[in-house]
Structure 1
Amino acid sequence: MTYGWLVANSSLQTEKFMDYADWMKKEAERQGVMLELVWNSDIPVVFDCLGRRDFALPRHKSHPDFVHFADKDLHLGAHLESAGLRLFNRTRTVEACDSKALMHTRLAGHGIPAPRTVIGPKVYEGCEQANTAHINNIIDLLGLPLIVKEAYGSFGKQVYKAETRHELEAIIGRLGSREIIFQEMITESAGRDVRLNVVGSRVVASMKRTSVSDFRANVSAGGATETWEPSEEEKEIAVKAASAVNADFAGVDLLFGKDGPVLCEINSNPHIRSIYECTGVNVAVPMIEHILTEIK
């Protein structure tokens, strides 16, 4: 029997994540795969006295045929890959999708339509941005209103809208040394977006998310869902974006631009409960199928 690890973060033992882990384990078993949950804290990232990596199996665990890397512990991901393990998704994919700034850097040159974006200048920990002149540049480049996003964030919780310069200054001051990006606001898409789940090189499920009370359409921010039949252009953008970050599977969010769909972001570890409840499509099925195809 094929044996794999589902590596997860031991600090995130939430009901939502445990539901995902149980779901993936059951689908893997249905396809003849034993998928075992392993916490990241159970796998030490060790270097010996000569600086060589020292890989030790967690207690009572066997060497896996693959790893479903449902975590963002990049040091651990690199450690597992150095031991010859195939990760789904790979460490560089998770790294690119974890940081919205790095994601746009990786996507540059791939011809993928996206909002005009400015990466905020670095601010050292414990310091404040002393040069406020760059705010003029941001407004000149993007206009108002505009969107401010923390580079690291999930479920739309670290996304803010600035209607005025005063609001923009207040957001920048509040975020301090956190890494941020600024984007033009796609006003046509306020409170609306589309989530497309990509596995391999195809879209396997999609839904539209809508909020009547928030400019963000995330389900966790109160958005409602409905089934969505994506256009060929939407599918092409989603697959192209996932391929640009070398994702085995991804949740790709698209906005409704005035001239067509534009990329919002790529999620390397998308949850699958909400899209199943909306569409009836069990995304875990093609995910396990893809893993089996790749390792064989």
Structure 2
Amino acid sequence: MVKNGWVVYNGHLPGTKFKDFAEWIQAAANEKNIQLTLIKNNEMLALHQQTGGTIFPEYYRRPDFVVFGDKDIHLAKQLELLGIPVFNSAEAISLCDDKIATYQALSAHHLPIPKSIAGPKIFPNPRALETASFIKSGKMLGYPLVIKEAFGSFGEQVYLVETEQELIEKVVELQDRPFILQEFISSSYGKDVRLNVVGDKVVAAMKRTSSNDFRANVSAGGSMEEYQPTKKEIELAIAASRAVGTDFAGVDLLFGPEETPLVCEVNSNAHIRNIFDCTRINVADWIIDYIVEKLQEG
């Protein structure tokens, strides 16, 4: 019987979004008579030595499972090495956290995505930036195009560039930060769809719209409304979640030409308050039910 677990969240980030997610998961577990302990990632450190790896301090009761609401991939991996089931897995979080890795996985599974080019590795403070490859990439993708930093959240590290000159200037600005160049899907300007996937089900969906930005993120000022996804959108969201190995995820879809859905991102640590406010569906309940089912099966 599943009796206790942990929810790990980041202890250094400002604001309450990440703790809020942890508290929602905790409340859903309590409804199932499962005791969940909230733990900041910096309160529990991984120790590596000749005798093996462990977690310290060790005063926490060993859990039946961990819901990992953070991107501290090394800590998640250490918990797995100790034989503790972790949702989502360290590998899934790693693939979602790095947008280049995300698109590699999606394209390897032949899922529809915007045409994307991974920026080459650039070391800090290059003496001279080689621009020929970026010029070629711009001609291939067309303008305007989108530049996404590989690591970023809430749409804050996503840029729309209109010209070749703007492209080079942005690349110079980014320097050694990994990034991806991507074709701009004009048919989805200021609008997208967030589908919350748990296991092999889409449990909630909303459409996000912005009237003054090509990005539709609610955190960037976009509005939201309940949305009934099509069969094709549901199948694509589930396939995208499987491609990166998530147990639960927020999958963002763009409206491609003729309303053909395209995968924009897969979020392993998607916050669930906004979609509850929009749909009144508590995704945390679905997550806990899924975890209990998986643990009972295994």
Describe how 1:245-264 pairs up with structure 2 within 5 A.
Answer: 245-259=244-258, 260-264=260-264
1:42-90 deviation line (CA, Å, top 9, x unaligned): 2221221x3x533145353100000001111111111111000110000
Moved more, 124-133 or 79-88: 124-133
Is structure 2 residue 64 aligned with structure 1 residue 73? no
The TM-score with structure 1 as length reference comes to 0.96
Structure 1 distance, partners of 2:107, 2:127, is 29
Determine if contact 2:196/2:204 at 8 Å carries over to the other structure: yes
Partner of 1:149: 148
Determine if contact 2:193/2:253 at 8 Å carries over to the other structure: yes
Describe how 1:116-265 pairs up with structure 2 within 5 A.
Answer: 116-127=115-126, 130-259=129-258, 260-265=260-265
Partner of 1:114: 113
1:211-249 deviation line (CA, Å, top 9, x unaligned): 001000000111000010000000000000001111100
1:122-149 deviation line (CA, Å, top 9, x unaligned): 1012326621101221112100000000
Structure 1 distance, partners of 2:26, 2:136, is 49
- 1:109 CA displacement: 2.5
Kindly tell me: are residues 291 and 129 of structure 1, through their superposed partners in 2, closer, same or farther at Cα, counting changes over 3 Å?
A: farther
Report SS of the residue matched to 2:254: strand
Report SS of the residue matched to 1:108: helix
Determine if contact 2:99/2:150 at 8 Å carries over to the other structure: yes
Determine if contact 1:128/1:177 at 8 Å carries over to the other structure: no
Determine if contact 2:21/2:69 at 8 Å carries over to the other structure: no
Determine if contact 2:9/2:19 at 8 Å carries over to the other structure: no
Which structure 2 segments of 5+ residues have no match? Answer: none
Structure 1 distance, partners of 2:204, 2:267, is 14
Structure 2 distance, partners of 1:249, 1:231, is 19
Partner of 1:36: 37
Structure 1 distance, partners of 2:263, 2:122, is 27
Describe how 1:90-109 pairs up with structure 2 within 5 A.
Answer: 90-109=89-108
Moved more, 150-159 or 55-64: 55-64
- 1:94 CA displacement: 0.1
Report SS of the residue matched to 1:24: helix
Determine if contact 2:68/2:76 at 8 Å carries over to the other structure: yes
Is structure 2 residue 8 aligned with structure 1 residue 7? yes
Structure 1 distance, partners of 2:237, 2:128, is 36
Kindly tell me: are residues 208 and 162 of structure 1, through their superposed partners in 2, closer, same or farther at Cα, counting changes over 3 Å?
A: same
Kindly tell me: are residues 128 and 67 of structure 1, through their superposed partners in 2, closer, same or farther at Cα, counting changes over 3 Å?
A: farther
Structure 1 distance, partners of 2:56, 2:247, is 25
Report SS of the residue matched to 1:160: strand
1:1-29 deviation line (CA, Å, top 9, x unaligned): 61001011111252222222222111110
Partner of 1:280: 280
Report SS of the residue matched to 1:45: strand
- 1:37 CA displacement: 0.7
Identity, in percent, stands at: 44
What is the root-mean-square deviation of aligned Cα atoms in Å? 1.3
Is structure 2 residue 19 aligned with structure 1 residue 18? yes
Report SS of the residue matched to 2:108: coil
Report SS of the residue matched to 2:111: coil
Determine if contact 1:129/1:176 at 8 Å carries over to the other structure: no
Determine if contact 1:107/1:241 at 8 Å carries over to the other structure: yes
Kindly tell me: are residues 239 and 57 of structure 1, through their superposed partners in 2, closer, same or farther at Cα, counting changes over 3 Å?
A: same
Where does structure 1 differ by over 3 angstroms across 4 or more consecutive aligned residues? 56-60
The aligned amino acid for 2:133 is H
Determine if contact 2:206/2:279 at 8 Å carries over to the other structure: yes
Moved more, 195-204 or 29-38: 29-38
Report SS of the residue matched to 2:270: coil
Determine if contact 2:196/2:249 at 8 Å carries over to the other structure: yes
Determine if contact 2:8/2:38 at 8 Å carries over to the other structure: yes
The aligned amino acid for 2:28 is E
Structure 2 distance, partners of 1:46, 1:19, is 28
- 1:102 CA displacement: 0.7
